[in-house]
A and B are shown apart, each in its own frame.
Chain A
Amino acid sequence: MKWETVIGLEVHTQLATQSKIFSGSSTAFGASPNTQASAVDIALPGVLPVLNKGAVECAIKFALAIGATLNRINVFDRKNYFYPDLPKGYQISQLAKPIVEGGVLTFLVGDTERTVNLTRAHLEEDAGKSLHEDFHGMTGIDLNRAGTPLLEIVSEPEIRSSAEAVAYARALHTLVTWIGICDGNMQEGSFRVDANVSVRPVGQAEFGTRREIKNLNSFKFLQQAIDYEVRWQIETLEDGGRIEQATVLFDPDTGETRMMRSKEDAHDYRYFPDPDLLPVKLDEDWIESVRNALPELPAAMQLRFQSEYSVSAYDAGLLTGSRALAEYFEAAACACGQGKLVANWVMGELSATLNKAELDITQSPVSARQLGALVARIQDGTLSGKLAKLVFEGLWEGAGEVDAIIEARGLKQMSDSGELEKIIDDVLASNQKSVEEFHSGKEKAFNALIGQVMKASKGKANPAQVNDLLKAKLQ
């Protein structure tokens, strides 16, 4: 039987606010345990929540970025359950009237464009952390994270493979960091993915029973967990078994998912509107001012890059992988007016060198202006591609500006055709065999001659010029 995979993702993004969603505690990562847990965060008797405007603004930005509906009146509810990292015994979340509904995310899976509809996105508070190192058989509770604002972003179950799931999650990650509502740090838990996975025979209309994989904090784990889960579900069904609705955890060490709780243990959360918080009203002026302050979004920028800089759709997708990268590209492209060439450099030499050094684009020792200047020197014929790489090395090492490096290292491409003609004559004289071969119809021989000329010029010859002159001489 052929099976179809059905996936819906719920992504918890920690919002990049200074303070918590309902208290004035800092949200900074890594503080000593419970030093950023105020009376409100530890739920002392009598304390009350007051909503952070910054968190609401993040949700507005997100809604505008995905073309979603912003609920002008939205409501906070209490989700009741007992857990030691949940100090109040309830999580403040949004159930019936979330701040964001609908919206779409468009992204590439390989070369194919995919669009996934979003169900909703709602504001809620994060829980604290349970530390399972042994305290005489006890667990330690750190409430520094309790109350950190989250935007939970829920997709429709429209994703059909782990590759699509990863592409969706990456696109979402790019977007939330792009608009500055999340720092995107997955190691620190700023962007955590839950995957609802089910399978059904191809052609069947109704969904299979789903299992939810909780808390995946890397794209690799997302892919591995889904692949394992899908295989497991198909094998179970093909062996005549049934899938029970359940919540499972992914173990990166074994690459397997394991049951956390079954449907029978599922909580009865007893949601009801939080009486301590009033309905949140979003006025039009606020929404408009947020809209006006939004940066150009990746999708729009991709189209513009294609038309303004003649880069391919695929390249435009890569160049808008992050806002910093896109801004770098555009600054370099503007500096020299050579978008296509800059794109090749950014995605080629620059990316490779950054990767090797484990740096990201914001840490690049070569500035966008410098890369632009380098490309300008290629364009005006001063540098060959080969020489340009040497100049790039100089820039990376901090040896100065492009022209200074060219000067200091004598990397200028030969522009004097007299000098070049002399070299060519020498090469033709000492490579009679190749000349004969060329005349007898062997095209390869021509390339060998060009190579010899370039070598003799120590790479400074302009390849196009060599090509022309050599052709003329061999006529």
Chain B
Amino acid sequence: MSLSPDDVKRIARLARIEIDDSQALASQSQLNTIFDLIATMQAVDTQGIAPMAHAQEVTQRLRADSVTETDHHAAFQAIAPAVENGLYLVPKVIE
């Protein structure tokens, strides 16, 4: 299997990373060497094997439903790129 420059651009688009044609081309060859390495696992017969998503076989602990947080928006927004009236500002969102 191998990625085309268009594949690279499609995934860069999914990941919201700007990439131009020459970068896509350069990434493509590097990514393909990595995918060649990854491809070695395709040969393994994993029928009947349960996927392992977590390092420990434990189940989710549940938090009691109570309000434990207080307002820290001033501290949080002191490090924000753009805020006004307590809101984070972003370029206009068009729906």
Contact = CB atoms under 8 A, between A and B. Distances in A.
Interface string B41-67: 000000000000110001111111111
A142 interface: yes
A189 interface: no
Contacts of B88: 34, 84, 140-141, 143
| Shortest beta-carbon contacts, A-B, top 4 | A54-B65, A24-B68, A140-B87, A53-B62
Given A36-B71, A135-B87, 19 more contacts: A19-B68, A23-B69, A24-B67, A35-B73, A42-B76, A44-B76, A50-B63, A51-B60, A53-B62, A56-B62, A131-B87, A135-B84, A135-B89, A137-B91, A138-B82, A138-B92, A139-B92, A277-B60, A281-B59
Given A38-B72, A82-B16, A33 B87 contact: yes
Contacts of A143: 88
Interface in B12-55: 14, 16, 53-54
A464 interface: no
Interface residues of B, number: 33
A38 B69 contact: yes
A82 B15 CA distance: 8
B17 to A, nearest CB: 11
A268 interface: yes
Contacts of A141: 87-90
A332 B91 CA distance: 58
Contacts of B2: none
A18 B66 contact: yes
B90 A84 contact: yes
A26 interface: yes
Contacts of B92: 132, 137-139
Interface string A12-39: 0000011100011110000011111111
26 contacts: A23-B69, A24-B63, A24-B66, A34-B73, A34-B86, A35-B73, A35-B86, A37-B73, A37-B76, A51-B61, A51-B63, A53-B64, A135-B84, A135-B89, A137-B91, A137-B92, A141-B90, A142-B86, A143-B88, A268-B14, A273-B53, A275-B54, A278-B60, A278-B61, A280-B60, A281-B59
Nearest to A37: B73
Nearest to A76: B60
Contacts of B84: 135, 138, 140
A141 B84 CA distance: 10
A277 B64 CA distance: 16
A39 B68 CA distance: 12
A365 interface: no
A29 to B, nearest CB: 14
A7 to B, nearest CB: 23
Contacts of B76: 34, 37, 39, 42, 44
Nearest to A281: B59
B78 interface: no
A324 B95 CA distance: 39
B77 interface: yes
B14 A140 contact: no
Contacts of A26: 67, 69
